[in-house]
Amino acid sequence: MAAKTKTYQDLMEEAKKYGVDNNALFIQAAEQYSMQFAVIQQIKRTLQRDSNLITSKEYVKGRENICAHPLIRELPKHVDSANKTLGVMLEILTKLGKPPAPEGKLAELMKDA
C-alpha cells in the first residue's frame, strides 16, 4: 500500500475545513512542514542514489575505521522535526479550529458520483 504524502495544499484544505486557514500560526507551521518535507525527500533520494553508504578509512598504523554516510544520521533528525511540526499543526487545528459538520448520506453519494 502506497503511503499518501501531505502536500502544502492538502494541509491548507484541511485547515479550511476547521476554519484555521487564515491563522498565522497554522500558515507558518504549514510552510515549515512543507520545507522540512522537501528536505526529507531530498535526503532519501540522495541515500537511494549513493551506493556506498558505509566506507572504511585507514588511519595511523593501519587501523581501519568504519564510517557511515553523514545523511544516515541527519535523516532521523529531520523526520523528528517534521513530526513535531505536524504535532503543532494538529494542536492548532484542535484547539483553535472547529471540527467540520458531518455530511449526510446524500452529500457522500454525490461525492462518489
Question: In this predicted model, what pLDDT tens digit does every residue of 93-104 receive, in sequence order?
Answer: 889 888 777 766
The residue type found at 85 is: T
**Per-residue pLDDT at 64:** 82
What is the number of helices (H) and of strands (E) in the chain? Answer: 4, 2
Whether residue 113 is predicted with pLDDT greater than 70 in this model: the reply is no
Mean pLDDT, range 27-33, rounded to an integer: 91
- Length of the chain equals 113
| E strands in the chain | 54-58, 64-68
Whether residue 3 is predicted with pLDDT greater than 60 in this model: the reply is no
Contact at 8 Å (CB) between 92 and 20?
A: yes
CA distance 113 to 110: 5
Contact at 8 Å (CB) between 50 and 69?
A: yes
- Note the pTM of the prediction, 2 decimals: 0.72
CA distance 23 to 111: 28
Q: Which of 28-42, 69-83, 94-108 has the lowest mean pLDDT?
A: 94-108
Q: Which residue did the predictor score with more confidence, 33 or 63?
A: 33
**Per-residue pLDDT at 58:** 79
